[in-house]
Structure 1
Amino acid sequence: MVAGAEAFARTWATAVIGSSYVPMTRAEVAEHLQSLTEVLVEALIADPFRTAPGYDIGARLVEAHFTGTDTLGRTVQLLGDDLLTELGIGVDGRMESRLSALQGALAAGYARALRERTLAEQEAIRAAVLDARDQAETALRASEARFRAMFTEAAIGIGIADIEGRILDVNQALQDMLGFSVEEMRQYNIRDLMHPEDSGNVWRLYDQLIAGDCDHYRAEKRFHRADGEQVWTHLTLSLVRDDHGEPQYQVAMIEDVTDRHLLQNRLRYQALHDPLTGLPNRALFLERLGRVFNAVGGTTSRRAGLCYLDLDGFKVINDSLGHDIGDQLLVEVGRRLDHSVSGDGKLVARMGGDEFVILVEGSASTQDIVNVADRVLHELEAPIKIGGHELTVSASIGIVERPLEGTTAADLMRDADITLYWAKADGKSRWALYNPERNAREVARFTLSATMPAALERDEFYVDYQPLVRLADSRVTGVEALVRWQHPEFGRLAPDRFIELAEETGLIVPLGRWVLRKACEEARRWLEEFGDSAPFVSVNLAVRQSRDPELVRDVKRILDECALPPHHLQLELTESAIMGTADEPLEALRALSDMGVRIAIDDFGTGYSNLAYLKHLPVHELKIAGSFMEGLRAADEEDAVDAQIVSTLVQLAHALGLGVTAEGVETPSQAKRLHRIGCDTGQGWFFARPGRPEDIDHLLRGGL
């Protein structure tokens, strides 16, 4: 019978699994139902017979969560169909009666337990609902109390309005902020609080909010107080919707940020203005200049101009009288500039130090800016009295004026700065107008200066030679070496384009050494080919070269390496250079002269010679400047003054035992007159233009 009970329990488990959700595995369900089957079997065969166990089994099924709608039906049917068979009990009227009674008791117990459980669950739900309602009411009352406390006691202003903008309530903070009572505020609509300088974005967002397109927004906004003053605020406006999601109220939270705004304005002013003069500073000027170029409407027909101004001699005043006097001077200059220039479309700014800039927007022509510059120069003419000193200052001004189209703010500033440099270079106390051609020349000059060192390494330089002709018999006795630069971009450049740059950069020393070597190499070649008829070479010596401590050693080494006798080399120095020579360079010239090298004074007569000093110099030749030859050029007449000057110079040179070369000889008449006056040698286009060494070869072979 035990085996039969186990088999029935398994069949029962299979029948009811899936009809109810129970928190058991299949094995646990089978085990639970087996225990119930054992109770049924005991009740079925018990004597006396009782139905109470069946009632308990129904209740235990509900307790185990077998509460599905099919669970009871399947259980009752299975008991009637299979229990007696599985237990091996013969079917008779007595057992069938007992089984039916147990089935009924099980169903009754199941139904009662299920009803009690349902009632218990309903009561729990009702209690939960009541508790939730109580909690919600309590929370609502607490929330309302908190809102009222916050609304009333909040430090920031809070206002409530309906969706049409009618103000319903405001708290005390907002009343204090704007100076209106609640009753007065309720007379207003939100739109009545518009400020004429409100950003258009503020009211665009407001329209979106009341339309329900957004739930909140933040903005900085000004309000007028009851006393007429204005208040800067940080506004947060939020939308409150009804149960259907439709806009119902609007709530504004308003923070007074007037002090913060004033502080920010003060800090911005300090950041954008010069603390000494009170004028706009570089940052504000550049901001304003940027706005000129970014203004609505483009730059097609609009113009602008700049005056970039630098005080002349300010450093001397500042260094000699002290920074306090210098600062007071800058303050007065700034005041005069602002007084003479200020107006619509004009801005005066201090860029730093003693530099100021004037921006003129919407200029009609360059003359407008020139007029501004003239007013500034005139304004600065009057002496400035500071601390017992009467100071006079002037200014150099760079002017740029042009259409905005095709240029940038950076271009305008760069060109104004360049032009200021021109004004100073041209003599100060004046203005200079930007000139693209001059700028191109300056750029080319800079390019030459930057590329010159590499040019020497790349052999871009070469030497031309111009003959020095003895006037008595037209024989070529010497040649002057003239360096040229075959520039890859600018083409063939004469010395006047780059020698000054070479002196400024210091490259004149290696360049001069290179020219000296090339000239000596050619002189040696001519000596080998033409013997006693070979010319000497005359090489120009720059001031910086004459002061080079290695000059004598360089010359001696080059002469030795080229195997050139020293008397076949002549070094030329300008009159001002040789007259201003200090002791050490003079010793170098004496050493060269003692070595046998000829020394010549170039462009004689254009400097300031000390004749008493001249006779002590180690000089062999005077080359009279070509400017004195102008009056001797015409065939039919000569300038008596020029002729007398040249004659005097020749007599002076001969009295000192020096030879004389006349430069700039261009006509036969000049050559004849110079020979008659007593010049020994002539040089100029009449004899030959500077040319390649091969041209000199031709002259030496065939004569002039």
Structure 2
Amino acid sequence: MRTPKILLVNDHPASLLALKTLLVNSPQGQDYELITATSGAEALRAVLDHEFAVILLDVSMPGMDGFETAETIHSHPRSASVPIIFITAHYADEMNRLKGYQHGAADYLISPVIPQILQSKIAVFIELAKKNLELEAQKEALAMMNRDLQVQQMQDLKRINAALESEIIERRQAEERAHELATRDPLTSLMNRRSLTDRLEHAIAVSARYGQRLALLFLDLDKFKGINDAFGHDAGDDLLLQAAERISGCVRESDIVARLGGDEFVVLMEALPAYSSAAEVGRKIVSAIDTPFHIGSQTIKTSASVGIALYPQDGNTSQSLMRSADLAMYHAKQEQRGSIQFFHEELNMKMLERTRLEQELRHALENDEFELYYQPKVEARTGRIAGVEALLRWHHPRLGLLSGGQFIGAAADTGQLVPIGEWVIEAACAQSRRWLDAGLCFPSIPIAVNVAIPQIYADLPEVIERHLRKYDVPSSSLQLEITESLVIRDVEKATSVLREISESGITIAIDDFGTGYSSLSVLKALPIDILKIDQSFVRDLGKDLGDHAIVEAIVNMARALALRVVAEGVETHEQLSILRDLGCDEHQGYYYSRPLPAHVFAEQMLHTSAA
């Protein structure tokens, strides 16, 4: 039986040699005969002299290019059905790919090709050619048989041929589906990370060659995880689909929109007229995402934070440019959600410092670098110490003494809030025990500790009970302070856990009240004893009538709910006088005392008692 033939057409000697070597040394190389040509005209002569299973055709050739050659080959009845695979390094865009298919291409590959893919594609056509040659051989044998039998055999052969053609079509469709899955995001059909990286590398090369402007926009949807948890993953997917559509509607037709995963999207903008164009697109995206989404019967509100990196000043490789855009987006989220932020080198330094701080934080507990400072809470009318708040401090070996606000965010990001929070509870119980053993006159006042929401999901009642029992101190010696904005994230869970704690005899305070927008129904449901007015409302008392009205309203509301009121951040006598007149129960702040180490606090309290 004859051997199937492959025609390889390429005018570039090096490319011709590389492809020829690849095909000859292929494991299937012995299954076919390879014929080469270096021009379109030479290829046409070869087609007249031979029958080919498949033709591998270069697009870029002098004189008659690949498209013209393919058209001429397929115009001749003898070669009209020969499958052609274009292989090119210069016509790599989608329009030329489409042009190739319009000229009858079976496939369109971009050089350099992956050997296994090319060999796999050729194997299909070689197999088909073998089958056709077998059919021809059988046809010649059947000619010697009875005519009626020959007709029957030919009908069988046609059915076999049709089945083979159907199989080829199915294989081609499977290859197309596999390619789609490899290069597209399955949910939104946008480019995926792999495709974006390839396109970005190509865009950087073009920009470098022609001196063009290029921008990369990173964005994600603010608080998407909370939306996903609250409304379900189906609603989250619907939101992502709508967001993808809105983002695509904000960019130019030539821009690339990709989804990296989760709620992270990227926009690649090439050949910019000005870098300000990137900011304009960023603002359009922020505005588009800011419009409420309608998911089923729900109306969902979110926002987009956008980071922008520019080529070449913010990075000259795909990795560095993507990292810069990601850092800028992170900074936008930190500064103001729903905003845009350009990358600058300070962000990189801040991120490096943040990363270093997070690494050091992981060892702070085991190195015993934390300490509790104590600040008294004082009765507004009598001046008597009514309680004390334990405030976390970190004796950082490199940066010195840090307050909680300087590292709690890093603790949250690294998952350290729960172990640090438990350390605070144990340290407060241990201090209460030391004061009791020392026979001091103020050990009965409760020590307030701040609790973060992750602790509520980590068996908080059991943790508190264990440490109270370990140091043999009464539950009345401890008080919990929980930020209002954290409580309202999951009122049902918070209520259940806090009620169990409250029933054990521990008082509970809502910290930073007035900033979390909780409703009266939420306050009534929570087993709380104290409201702490946020210092932002106390700071301008006596200067701002609005703050005066807000504090008065909080005090009146607390009275209606039978709650005590503590004002935070009191620094002047004028503020204290106003708070007394409004009926505030307690105050806390620098007016009375700064936070102090335990031994200094004890000395000051003894001195105050003696006076």
TM-score class normalised by the smaller sequence = 0.5 to 0.7
Q: Within 5 Å, give how 1:398-547 maps onto structure 2.
A: 398-403=307-312, 407-419=316-328, 431-438=340-347, 440-442=349-351, 444-445=353-354, 447-449=356-358, 451-503=360-412, 507-529=416-438, 531-534=440-443, 535-547=445-457
Q: What amino acid is the match of 1:602?
A: D
**TM-score normalised by L of structure 1:** 0.50
Greater displacement, 282-291 / 256-265:
256-265
Separation in structure 2 between the aligned mates of residue 425 and residue 281 of structure 1, nearest angstrom: 26
1:660 to 543, 565, 571: 565
1:569 matched residue in structure 2: 478
> Which is higher, the Rg of structure 1 or of structure 2?
1
CA deviation profile, 1:301-357 (whole Å, cap 9, x unmatched): 87542235679999999957999x9999979986x688x353xxxx63656779875
1:418, distance to aligned residue in structure 2 (A) = 4.4
Separation in structure 2 between the aligned mates of residue 550 and residue 531 of structure 1, nearest angstrom: 29
Q: Within 5 Å, give how 1:1-16 maps onto structure 2.
A: none
The yes-or-no answer on 1:224 pairing with 2:63 is: yes
Separation in structure 2 between the aligned mates of residue 329 and residue 417 of structure 1, nearest angstrom: 19
1:24 matched residue in structure 2: none
Q: 1:409 to 1:650 in 2, by over 3 A?
A: closer
1:556 matched residue in structure 2: 465
1:684 matched residue in structure 2: 589
Q: What SS does structure 1 have at the residue aligned with 2:504?
A: helix
Higher relative contact order by CA 8 Å / sep ≥ 6: 1 or 2?
2
2:574 matched residue in structure 1: 669
CA deviation profile, 1:630-689 (whole Å, cap 9, x unmatched): 343x4xxx6555445544544554566544322111101222332343333221011121
RMSD between superposed Cα atoms in Å:
5.6
Q: What SS does structure 2 have at the residue aligned with 1:558?
A: helix
Whether contact under 8 Å (2:84, 2:106) holds in the other structure is: no
Q: Within 5 Å, give how 1:203-602 maps onto structure 2.
A: 222=61, 224=63, 229=68, 261=87, 266-268=108-110, 286-287=197-198, 289-290=200-201, 304-308=214-218, 340-342=252-254, 348=256, 350=258, 359-360=268-269, 366-371=275-280, 373=282, 398-403=307-312, 407-419=316-328, 431-438=340-347, 440-442=349-351, 444-445=353-354, 447-449=356-358, 451-503=360-412, 507-529=416-438, 531-534=440-443, 535-551=445-461, 553-575=462-484, 580=491, 582=493, 584-593=496-505, 597-602=506-511
Q: 1:395 to 1:309 in 2, by over 3 A?
A: same
2:604 matched residue in structure 1: 699
Separation in structure 1 between the aligned mates of residue 258 and residue 524 of structure 2, nearest angstrom: 57
1:429, distance to aligned residue in structure 2 (A) = 7.8
Q: What SS does structure 1 have at the residue aligned with 2:509?
A: strand
Whether contact under 8 Å (1:177, 1:225) holds in the other structure is: no
Q: 1:424 to 1:520 in 2, by over 3 A?
A: closer
CA deviation profile, 1:40-63 (whole Å, cap 9, x unmatched): xxxxxxxxxxxxxxxxxxxxxxxx
Whether contact under 8 Å (1:306, 1:358) holds in the other structure is: yes
Gaps of 5+ in 2: 1-32, 49-57, 72-81, 88-99, 112-175, 292-301
Gaps of 5+ in 1: 1-153, 160-171, 180-218, 233-255, 383-392
Q: What amino acid is the match of 2:317?
A: T
Q: How many matched pairs?
A: 453
**TM-score normalised by L of structure 2:** 0.57
Greater displacement, 558-567 / 347-356:
347-356
Q: What SS does structure 2 have at the residue aligned with 1:455?
A: coil
1:118 matched residue in structure 2: none
Q: 1:402 to 1:355 in 2, by over 3 A?
A: same
Separation in structure 1 between the aligned mates of residue 479 and residue 459 of structure 2, nearest angstrom: 19
1:696, distance to aligned residue in structure 2 (A) = 0.7
Q: What amino acid is the match of 1:266?
A: Y
